[in-house]
Every structure is written in C-alpha cells, then in structure tokens.
Amino acid sequence: MALRINDEAPDFTAETTEGKIRLHEWIGDGWAILFSHPKDFTPVCTTELGYMASLKPQFDKRNCKIIGLSVDPVDDHAKWVKDIEETQGHAVNYPLIGDPELKIAKLYDMLPADSGDSAKGRTPANNATVRSVFVIGPDKKIKLMLTYPMSTGRNFDEVLRVLDSIQLTATHKVATPVNWKQGEDVIIIPSVSDEEAKQKFPQGWKAPKPYLRIVPQPK
C-alpha cells in the first residue's frame, strides 16, 4: 500500500549509528525528518549528508529531529562519516539507520516489494528509488513526501522552508503562497470563515478576491 500525506508514519525498530531506536518513541512530542540515500560512499549523498549536518541547528530551533537511512549496515555508515566530515567540513551530527535487509525501505515504499531481502550485491542503480524525504509531525503523521532522482542532490533549504510553512499552518490556520519565505505575507485558509478570521486577524486582511485573504505572517 502506497503511503500518502496524513497517513501515520510506519513505526519500526532499527540499529543506528547512535544505537537502537524505535521511531515513534525517538520522535517524541516533536517533529522529525526521515531522509534516505541510495548507498554509502557515493558522491551526491556525501554532499547531502554534510549539508544536512550544517543545517541541524536550524532544525533544532524548530523542534525537529533528523535521521538518515540507507540499505547499508551501520558499520559502513560509521566509516563513511569520516569521509563526509573530511570533504564537506561538517561532521554528521544525527543518527543514520542501517537497513541491510531493506525492511524500512520497503515499509516506506522506497523500494518495490520484489527487491529481495539483502543489500549485498546491490548497486546504487538498484536502489534508485531510495532518495526520499519524509516530514513527520508530533502526531506521527506524514506531512511531506519528496522523492528525487538518483542524479539530483536534494534542496534541504527547501525542506526547511516547507517545515516552516507546515508548522505555521498547524498553529495559525494560514497557508503560504508560491515561493513564500519566513516573514512574508500568508493566506487565511478557506476553512476559516470571515467571522472567525475577524477574531483571529483583527487587523483585517487584503482580499483581491473573496477567496484570497492575505495577512502578515502571525508571530
């Protein structure tokens, strides 16, 4: 069954570079980002994991944990992180899940069911679908899913931007327009009536159309 936004994120227990975790317990009452990569010791992934390490303080401010995953064993992760720090200038500062039996990759619909049950002998090409990002909320539901092609490094600044938008909506009943950035105007969501909007936004709003009600970003 394919995962969809607002589905509960499948729970699992796994070995990581920071010990054994159970996902839902590890997330706790905050937010989390689970992101996967095709294989250790590959070039694009090396740049991604290093950059994600540099962004971790930004995610920490947003009460959002980071966890990575690949189908390689934890021992390989531990060797690879040295290369990441050497080449990218940032030490990996979040756990990396080992998934050598492909269980989690299949659980999250990153690999087809007929992919076998071992990472041995697999190449990055075999693992081509495993470059995914999931944002998981405090309710353990999936808020965002992204899947990139093998050859394209992900834009983790965009993931941070989307997290800001999702958290804003969760708190203030607003949506964010195209290319929105932190601090810019937002849109009152359609499910909020004008009467309710007057209570929530007593300063009023701009409305070039009745369904397009624009307000400054709530603090």
Residue 107 sits in the same domain as residue 204: no
- Is 64 tagged catalytic? no
Q: Report the CATH number at residue 70.
A: 3.40.30.10
Cβ-count burial 7-35 (b if 16+ within 10 Å, e if not): eebbeeebbbbeeebebeebbeeebbbbb
Residue 145 sits in the same domain as residue 203: no
Of 9, 23, 45, 135, the catalytic one is 45
Q: How far apart (Å, rounded) are the C-alpha atoms in residues 114 and 109?
A: 12
Residue 194 sits in the same domain as residue 141: no
Domain span at 202: 173-215
| Cα dist from 173 to 7, 122, 141, 211, whole Å | 20, 45, 18, 14
Residue 176 has pLDDT above 70, yes or no: yes
Q: What string of H, E and C letters represents the secondary structure of 6-64?
A: CCECCCCEEEECCEEEEHHHHHCCCEEEEEECCCCCCHHHHHHHHHHHHHHHHHHHCCE
Residue 199 sits in the same domain as residue 127: no
Residue 63 sits in the same domain as residue 147: yes
Short-list 66, 125, 122, 83, CA closest to 99:
122
What share of the chain has pLDDT > 90, as a percent?
Answer: 83
Residue 132 sits in the same domain as residue 191: no
Residue 115 has pLDDT above 80, yes or no: no
pLDDT tens sequence across 124-173:
666 666 789 999 999 999 999 999 988 899 999 999 999 999 999 999 99
In total, how many domains does the chain have?
Answer: 2
pLDDT at 111: 78
pLDDT tens sequence across 61-104:
999 999 999 999 999 999 999 999 999 999 999 999 999 999 99
Q: Do 87 and 46 form a contact (C-beta atoms < 8 A)?
A: yes
Short-list 109, 39, 45, CA closest to 71:
39
Tell me what the mean pLDDT of segment 11-33 comes to.
Answer: 98
Q: Report the CATH number at residue 208.
A: 3.30.1020.10
Residue 196 sits in the same domain as residue 146: no
